[in-house]
Amino acid sequence: MATVKDIYNYIDSLAPFSTQAEWDNSGFLVGDENKTVNKIIFALDVTTDVIEQAKNVCADLIITHHPVIFKPVSNVLNDSLIYKLIENNISIICAHTNYDKAVDGVNDILCKTINVTNYEKVDGTFLNIATFSYTYTTDEFANHLKDKLKGAIRYNNLNKSINKIAVCSGSGSDNLDLAKELQCDALLTGDASHHSFLDANEMDIVLFAAGHFETEMLAIKPLLERIEKEFKVDCVLAQQNTPIITI
């Protein structure tokens, strides 16, 4: 039977933890690396609800995209997620920015989900660059994203023809300058602030914000399937929805 360490090493072979951003905290974060793994639950985030789901299915390990420990922790009290994990003998592996930039990782899966196959990675960044044979209008591409990603799409009101886009899942609006430098017509990401949209207008580039959850949750099941095939271990996809309500 596989151990937590075996699972960690396999993820490391797919998306090396050494490639994570300096500010990130991906890796094996809670638990016993020598623990035998009979069942794994996969989620975008560690939440109380996900831990309850793990307890209900007797999971030994939770694998998430977002790290359960991100900022420095000054205490571990009985109402904290870390305490609940330790109390229930559940280990945690988090694959965040290393999985974002990996081959067949989050950004690649996002491209494929929106039917983009002609893309390339920009070395040293989190960006994929894609070129279309078809020219979209801004509104057409927004509707295309809504259909493929099933969430609310926010974008700035620029009436542009879109042939070349930069893609960065999650919070990637800080890549606007680079996308413009690479002569992209648009940048697709998950989150973007009011000021990012203002900046995009000034740069004459369309910024599409399709939701942090919507641009990343889509990569959880493919990771589950790869680990399930490799280890023949029972794997469960957590029931998880975006924490944001849109009306």
* Of 245, 114, 127, 223, residue with least CA distance to 181: 127
pLDDT tens column, 35-79: 999 999 999 999 999 999 999 999 999 999 999 999 888 888 888
φ, ψ at 163 (rounded to 5°):
-115, -25
Taking the C-alpha atoms of residue 99 and residue 17, their distance in angstroms, rounded to an integer, is 8
- Tell me the Ramachandran region of residue 150: left when phi exceeds 0, alpha when psi lies from -120 to 50, beta otherwise: left
What is the domain partition of the chain in residue ranges? 4-99, 103-215
Structure-block tokens of residue 189 = 């990401």
pLDDT tens column, 180-228: 999 999 999 999 999 999 999 999 999 999 999 999 999 999 999 999 9
Tell me the average pLDDT across 134-157.
Answer: 95
**Fold category of 4-99 in CATH:** 3.40.1390
Percent share of the chain, pLDDT over 70? 100
Tell me the average pLDDT across 92-105.
Answer: 98
Whether domain 103-215 has CATH 3.40.1390.30: yes
- Confirm whether 4-99 and 103-215 share one CATH topology: yes
pLDDT above 90: residue 157 = no
Q: What is the pTM of this model?
A: 0.95
pLDDT, residue 71, reads 86
Q: What is the mean pLDDT of the chain?
A: 96
Strand duo 39-43 + 161-167: pairing: unpaired
Q: Which SS3 state, helix, strand or coil, does residue 163 take?
A: strand
pLDDT, residue 134, reads 87
Taking the C-alpha atoms of residue 50 and residue 85, their distance in angstroms, rounded to an integer, is 11
